[in-house]
Amino acid sequence: MTAVRKARARAGAMLAGAALTAVTGCSSGSGEATTSTEDTVRRFKAGPATSPSASADRGDLVVSYEKPEKPADRRTEAFLKRTKALEGVSDYADDLIALPYDVPLRAKSCGQANAFWNPQTKDITYCYEFVDTLRQIYEEQETEGSAKEREAAVEQDLVGLTNGVLLHELGHGLIAMYDLPATGEEEDAVDQLSALLLASGDDEHQQYAIDTINAWSGLAEAESAGNMPADEYADEHSLSIQRFYNWSCWLYGSDPGRYKWIVKREGNPDGVLPEERAERCPEEYAKIARAWSTLLEPYLKD
């Protein structure tokens, strides 16, 4: 999946070279777009009649850092504090969604690479080891430029992934806090919410979606290099390769004109998303937006 990195580089150039005040999914003459990011963003924000009351919005994501237990964890703690990645997720989520109480978001040493919502303690844990594991994957992907430029790119990737993963975990929290119904596998549902929150955001958060896609690419490559035990197929999470294609589909579906480079077709051999799946992605994304907008409507902020 090395083409993902090439496609991402082109996307970065497009984002840097365009001053966009409104993003639409209708590309002149493309015939591809059946939905638009502009419409989706408008649907995903609360209207005057549905905005949560002040009494309903009693909480925030509250960031804290526990003392690291290993040298690698100390490096990760310093990175997270310097980039304010967790604080960025907290501010972004708090601007969009009302919470009924404060939800701790703790970075800590866990002894394993993980990130999770704990329904008993009602908090989110982001393990230092998880960041270190993904750092190694991104370091293999980022091969262009000087050492300093590669390091900066890896750190940007990690900030993006942090957003994708923690919004996923917040999705679990929202389902628990508001007793929301989840048809189908909850892990897939909160993946969809995370992708929606990023894809419907500004250029920076859309880039975070790309960073998350590249993480699933790297994890899929790592998994394919070894012999996956049969028990792994019983896990509640979709396989990394499935999450890679799902996220690619949802980002493309959010704005087919802007993200047409994701689709592998004649004239774009570096694309990664098969045309057969891409044809359904705009409607797939629109359904996700409608579903989560309906579920969260009482809790969405202006």
What is the structure's pLDDT at 228? 45
**pTM for this predicted structure:** 0.81
What is the structure's pLDDT at 221? 76
What is the structure's pLDDT at 169? 97
User: Tens digit of pLDDT per residue, the chain (302 long)?
Assistant: 443 444 443 333 322 222 222 222 222 333 333 334 444 433 455 444 456 655 567 899 999 999 999 999 999 999 999 999 999 999 999 999 999 999 999 999 999 999 999 999 999 999 999 999 999 888 988 889 999 999 999 999 999 999 999 999 999 999 999 999 976 789 999 999 999 999 999 999 999 999 999 988 888 777 665 544 445 433 455 688 999 999 999 999 999 999 999 999 999 999 999 999 999 999 999 999 999 999 999 999 97
What is the structure's pLDDT at 251? 97
What is the structure's pLDDT at 40? 41
Q: How far apart are CA 172 and CA 193, in angstroms?
A: 10
Q: Where are the domains of the chain?
A: 3-299
What is the structure's pLDDT at 57? 75
